[in-house]
Structure 1
C-alpha cells in the first residue's frame, strides 16, 4: 500500500546503526516487492530473522483441481463444506479447502475455531474476507483486529497467525494471489494517493499501530511456497525459527498488512445500470476483486435495475454471496455463503422473472464479493464437493 507509515522505534537514517538501550545492534530487514523496485518496508529485529533450526515438509490441504468440463455455470454451496462442531477444531490456515483456482489466483473457504499456526505465504499476497466471526490477526508488523465485513490484505512473506476471538466461529473467504494485490490503478494518482473519485481513501484503511514483541524460541512457521512439481505448483514447508518471529521493535515504509471494512466502500451509482468495474475494490495480476454493497440503484424512469444479460468473453466471474437479498439470483437457490461461477464463453444474467420484477426497485440490500479472472478457473476439491449440480439449468427450468 503506497502510503508511508512508521511504527515503533526506527533510526533517523535507514541502513544505519540502530541499537537497544544496552548497546546491542538491532537487525535490519528489508521486505520489498519487485526486486528493490517497488514498495517496501524496513523492519528492525532483536534477533537475526533468517535463523532457523529445522525444516520439514508441510502437507498442504488437497490442491488438486479439475477443469470446468463440460463448460457450465455452477452454484457452489460453501456452508455445506464444514460441520460447525468439527470446525471448532479447525484453524484458519491449515483448514482451508480449495474451491477454485488457476495460475494467477486460488480461492479457498474455511470455518475455524482454533488459533492458527504462524504462517507465511511466499507465493503471493492474500486478501481474506471475514464473512462472520472475529479475530485478532497478529503479524510481524503488529496486530489487526478483524470482524465481519473486513478485508485483510496481507503482503507476500508476512509472518502472521489468526486468533479467533468472541464466541462464534470464524468464516473466511480467502483469495490467494500469485502476485501482489493493490487498489485499482485508476483510483491512484501517479504518486500513489487514492484520488477523489475513488470509492474509499486512506482514512478507511487500518494498519498496525504498535509492535508485537515476544521472547519464545524454536517457533514453527508454516510456509506456503512455489513448488513446480507439487499440485497447482504450490508446496509447503515448516521452518522452525530460532527466535520468535514477532521480535520487531519498529518498522517504517509503504508495505504492510491492513484492514478495510466493506461498509466503508462508497458505491458509485447512476441513472442507468452501472457496469461491474464501478464496484472494484482491489486488483491482482490477471484478476480483479469487486464488492456489491447496499446502495441506491438506477433512477432513470425507464431503468431496469438488475444487470443486463452479458457474455464473459475474456473472464470467469465468481460471486460470493455474503448477506441480503440478491435480486438477480432470486429463484436459483443461491443464498448467503453461496458462490456462483459464470465461466467465459457462457452468456448469463438475471434468473427468470427477475428482469421484469426489478423495475421500480430503488434500493438493493445485498452484499457480495466478486472475483473476475482473465484465465479460466478450475474446480478445487472444495468446489467439487460444494457443487449443487443444478444451477446450469436454472434459466430454462431444467434439463430437456
Structure 2
C-alpha cells in the first residue's frame, strides 16, 4: 500500500530521500537568510541584492558547462561533489564579514545548486525507464516542496529569536543536510559516463534552437507563476484591497498542499514531449484563469476578497502542476541520451533568466496597473500556453532529424540536423 506513495525502489527512491534531507535544510535557511545577512553580517539590502544578482549571473554562465561535466564524468559523482561544495559554502557563510566574501560564496552556491539539479535530472534519465521518468521527477518535486515547507517551519524559531547564534545554527544545520544528502546519493547505482558520438558537437544543447526557445519560455513562465503568490499577491492586497495580508499565508498553504499531494497525479499520462503539448497549453491557460480571479478581488469586501483569493490559489496550483509535468516530459524527451546533463543545465539557465525577469514584470503589472495588470498577466500566460505547443513540436521535429542523422552518415552532413 505504501508503495503507491513512493517512487520505484532503487535510484528513484534514493533520490527522493536525498531531496527531502537537503531541501529541509534549504527551507530553514531561506526563512532566515535575509535577516542573517542584514542583521548579523551587517550587509545592506542593496548589497544582498548585488550578491544575488552576481550569483544569478554566475549560474547562467556556468550551469550548462556543469551539466556537460555531469554527462562526461557521471551524474552521480558530480552531484555528490556539488553537494559537498554546498556544505562547505554554507559553513563558510558563518565567517562572512563583508560584501565580497558573500558575493563569492553566493556565486559558488548558485552554480553548485544548479549543478545538483542538472545532475539529478541526468541521473533520472539514465537510470529510470522512459515511461517512468516524469512520474519519478514528479515525486522529486513533491518531496522538494514538502522538505522546504518543513524546513520553513523549523527556521521559524531562529527567526523569532533573531540572534546570531540561532542564524549560525541554521547555516551549520543546512551544511549538515547537504553532507547527509551526499551520503544518501552514494547509495545510488552509478550510471555509465556518456561519450559524444562521432561528429556531434560537444555543447549540442546550445545549438538546439527549439530547446533554447522552450527553456527561455518555460523559465519566464515558471518565474511568473512562482511570483504570483509570493510577490504579486501580498503587494496587491496591500495596495488595492482592505483584506488582511494573512491571506498570503493561506494561499501559500493551498499551493504547498497541492504541490506535495497532487504533483504525481497531475503527471499521469504525460510521458513524452508529444504528450506535453496539450498539458502545457492547459496548464498555462488555467494559470491565466487564476490571474483573472485575482483581478476580480479589486475593491471587493474583505470576505469576498478572501473567497476569490482562495479560489484563485486553488486554480493556480492546478495550472502550475500541469505546467511542471509538461516541462519534465519535454526536457527529458528532447535531449539525446548522451547529453541529458547539459540539456538539464540549459533548462536551469532558462529558469535563472526567468528569475531575473519575473519580479520586475510582476511588480510593474500588478502594482502599477492594478486590476488591468492582472488581465495583462493572464494574457502573458495565455500567449505562452498557445506558443508552447508550437515550440515543442518544433523540438520534436529537430530531435527526429538529429536521430536520423545519427543513423545515416549522409544525413549527418546536413547542417540542419544540429541547427
Task: Give the TM-score, by structure 2 length.
Answer: 0.25
**Structure showing the higher helix proportion among its residues:** 2
Q: Relative contact order (alpha carbons < 8 A, sep ≥ 6): 1 or 2 greater?
A: 2
**Structure showing the higher strand proportion among its residues:** 1
